[in-house]
Amino acid sequence: MVQEKVGVYVCHCGSNIAGVVDVGDVARFAAEELKDRGVALARDYTFMCSVSGQDMIERDIRELGLTRVVVAACSPHLHEATFRGACARAGLNPYLSEMASIREHVAWVHRDPQAATAKAKAIVAGTVARVLRNEPLQAIEVPIDARTLVVGGGIAGIQAALEVAEAGYDVHLIEREPSLGGHMAQFDKTFPTLDCAACILTPKMAAAGAHPKIHLHTWSEVEKVEGQVGDYTVHVRRKPRYVDADVCTGCGICVEKCPVVVVDDTFEAGIGYRKAIYWPFAQAVPNLPVLDPATCTYFVGGKGGCRACEKFCPTVPNSIRFDQHEEPLTLRVGNIILATGFDLFDARRVAQYGYGRLANVFTSLELERMCSAAGPTGGKVVLRDGHTTPRSVGIVHCVGSRDRNYNRHCSAICCMQSLKTAHLIKERTGAEVYDFYIDMRSPGKEYDEFYQRVLDDGVHFIRGKVAEISDVPLDPGEEDGRLYVQVEDTLAGLRRRIPVDMVVLSAALEPRRDSAEVGRIFGIACSTRGWFIEKHAKLDPVATMTEGVFVAGCAQGPKDIPASVAQGAAAAARVLNHIRQGVLSLEPVRAGVLAERCSGCRLCNGLCPFNAIRFDAEHGVSEINAALCQGCGTCVAACPAGAIQGSGFSDAQLYAQIDGLLADLRRQPAEAT
């Protein structure tokens, strides 16, 4: 057997580590006391991650023939790749190196230099013991299918799809609703520039709808995803539209002739109407009506009667297809971008604000529709009666946000949205506007300037959380038929009761109600609150822990339009990066079965959420598909026969590390800790 030579490198990290840990002593300890455990040399150096630090390692590997390397420095999550790279350049298999975290786990969390140095030594001893058991590994290479799936046709998803398609690669864009557009399509103006949402979104939707590389699947949902990065098989359920997309010209006669009128609680947020066969909205992409069997006379009547749409449809053959059924669709893609958006907080939950009980309490989304020239009121801001212009309006921030009863998070957009609403109301009605906020958050580009503008508009800002909105007059002079906003004005130190005609609630952005289920389908993690978890909160905000699945837009957390667009583009860039690489190298941390040890007991068979374990009935052994295995090691720990081995985190490595970490307890009497 080869005599192993371990090199130990102790980093000062300037004074980050050296300020607490006696790095020289740690290096001396490694060189002297771990000599019989394979350490050939130990050095300490100011910045191991610097070019000269890496050079030092490379030189030692070449000149002294080191066979293993331990770098005691920061967390491996920062510099593991750096030092693996140094090893590889010097001809040493990169997996024969290990990092010992003595900065995050020692110097930055402990103050007593003696205890910190002792702990650093123990960690180094453990890492040296472990690295001796490391095996040289090769990265796993997977070819990347150049097709991409984008889930969600809101602005983030549209942007992502366009970026990938523009680069020349096929994109399947899936949307649950009958049209692209998402929440942005419902908005009237966008802050802070007040350009009309439809004006800037419609061209994007049209571009996505017409792009030869974008394959649009609206009114469809993903049911199941199999495979792994580079090679996903996606099972999609296409809901019946009852309109033949290949024939329909979008003339709209069917919608015109349909005699059924119902409340549109999707696009028009419940303040407008639509037919049983309807356009999702005027600029819908694809430009096709959709028939709602829950309200259509033909379907409601047990498939009899009416059929007016069919009778009047001018196309040959007829575009109305009452016989359409749900259809499965199977797609093969290499990468997935999830841009599934958010749900709006149900303002009824804050009972004291009276939404749903008090007619003139509105949600911000209702107000968006009201302000829209194409909306149910033709752009007029009016009370629930449909014609009275309010003389005074209250706008309440943080409804369902920053509130431990509902959501602790800040919804990020409500302050700006409220300012925009205040401005629009002022502009259209001339009403007195009272804006009730907890803190004003306007940190985006030109955002605070917009705040200033609304201040200049004469909007009254009252800092305080609204306690109650009531229609019951209390004080002398209060009259029936108005709303009273009870609030503590924390700047003036007063309790105030402000009469208004209308209240607009800036409702929170919440995760999609089915986000946990969607997370499971795509194999990505979702926080307990329901936002998808990005790989790194700062440095990797659009990747997820699952290679090949990316997130963009509000599915990852509340954000405004520019941020959603940026994330959509960023996710696309990450996908294009995969596609251009063609073949992706994955960490070779995988489980594998030693067939001769496997008894075929099948205990492991149900343990893998990625379905990587399969039973080979013919040979009576279980097998692991390395491409599906994500390397968690659960089956390794569960195999009763010890037949499953985990590369990169083997039993031998872990036992050795435990042994090394505790070696100091055996060297000295236990009481002298």
Query: Using CB under 8 A, which residues numbered 591 to 610 contact another protein?
Result: 596-603, 605-607, 609-610
- Alpha helices (runs of H) in 584-650, residue ranges in sequence order: 634-638
Using the contact rule CB under 8 A, the part of the chain among 42-50, 126-134, 150-158, 234-242 near another protein is 126-134
Using the contact rule CB under 8 A, the part of the chain among 149-157, 251-259, 414-422, 645-653 near another protein is 645-653
Using the contact rule CB under 8 A, the part of the chain among 260-268, 310-318, 399-407, 663-671 near another protein is 663-671
Could you give phi then psi for residue 603, rounded to 5 degrees? Answer: -65, -35
Count of residues near another protein by CB under 8 A: 80
- Residue 154 is encoded by which pair of tokens? 């809101």
Report in angstroms how near the CB of residue 194 gets to another protein at its nearest.
Answer: 36
Between 197 and 598, name the residue whose CB sits nearer to another protein.
598
Report in angstroms how near the CB of residue 119 gets to another protein at its nearest.
Answer: 5
Q: Does 557 bind another protein (CB under 8 A)?
A: no
Using the contact rule CB under 8 A, the part of the chain among 62-70, 248-256, 571-579, 590-598 near another protein is 590-598
Q: Which of 39, 72, 122, 243 binds another protein (CB under 8 A)?
A: 122
Q: Does 574 bind another protein (CB under 8 A)?
A: no
Using the contact rule CB under 8 A, the part of the chain among 179-187, 340-348, 401-409, 659-667 near another protein is 659-667
> Which residues ranging from 85 to 104 are in contact with another protein (CB under 8 A)?
101, 103-104
Handedness of CA 244, 248, 250, 251 (dihedral sign): negative
- Give, as one character, the DSSP assignment of residue 239: P
For residue 30, give the amino acid letter. A
Report in angstroms how near the CB of residue 564 gets to another protein at its nearest.
Answer: 22
Using the contact rule CB under 8 A, the part of the chain among 327-335, 493-501, 556-564, 643-651 near another protein is 643-651
CA distance 391 to 9: 73
Taking residues 623 to 642 in sequence order and writing x for each that binds another protein by CB under 8 A, - otherwise, the string is -------xxxxx-xxxxxxx
> Which residues ranging from 359 to 418 are in contact with another protein (CB under 8 A)?
none
Between 481 and 606, name the residue whose CB sits nearer to another protein.
606
Report in angstroms how near the CB of residue 319 gets to another protein at its nearest.
Answer: 43
Question: Which stretches of 377-525 are assigned E, i.e. beta strand?
Answer: 392-399, 432-437, 460-463, 466-470, 483-489, 494-500, 502-507, 509-511
Q: Which of 75, 330, 352, 611 binds another protein (CB under 8 A)?
A: 75
Between 126 and 464, name the residue whose CB sits nearer to another protein.
126
> Which residues ranging from 496 to 525 are in contact with another protein (CB under 8 A)?
516, 520, 523, 525
Number of helices (H), then strands (E), belonging to the chain: the values are 17, 36
CB atoms within 10 A of CB 351: 11
Between 530 and 568, name the residue whose CB sits nearer to another protein.
530
Q: Which of 342, 362, 371, 348 is nearest to 187 (CA)?
A: 371
Between 101 and 318, name the residue whose CB sits nearer to another protein.
101
Distances (CA, A) of 297 to 323, 343, 374, 513, 521: 15, 30, 27, 30, 36
Taking residues 130 to 159 in sequence order and writing x for each that binds another protein by CB under 8 A, - otherwise, the string is ---x--------------------------
Report in angstroms how near the CB of residue 298 gets to another protein at its nearest.
Answer: 43
SS3 of 134-199: the string is CCCCCCEEEECCCCEEEECCCHHHHHHHHHHHHCCCCEEEECCCCCCCHHHHHCCEECCCCEEHHH
Question: Which stretches of 292-431 are assigned E, i.e. beta strand?
Answer: 327-333, 335-338, 342-344, 361-363, 392-399
CA distance 423 to 428: 9
Distances (CA, A) of 524 to 171, 434, 546, 559: 21, 43, 6, 20
Q: Which of 523, 518, 588 is nearest to 222 (CA)?
A: 518
SS3 of 73-140: the string is ECCHHHHHHHHHHHHHHCCCCHHHEEEEECHHHHHCCCCCHHHHHHHHHHHHHHHHHHHCCCCCCCCE
Between 122 and 424, name the residue whose CB sits nearer to another protein.
122
> Which residues ranging from 525 to 544 are in contact with another protein (CB under 8 A)?
525-528, 533, 537
Q: Does 658 bind another protein (CB under 8 A)?
A: yes
Q: Which of 115, 261, 351, 583 binds another protein (CB under 8 A)?
A: 115
Give, for 418, the enclosing helix (H) or strand (E).
helix 414-429
For residue 573, give the amino acid letter. A
Q: Which of 108, 312, 322, 406 binds another protein (CB under 8 A)?
A: 108
Between 311 and 614, name the residue whose CB sits nearer to another protein.
614
Report in angstroms how near the CB of residue 527 gets to another protein at its nearest.
Answer: 6
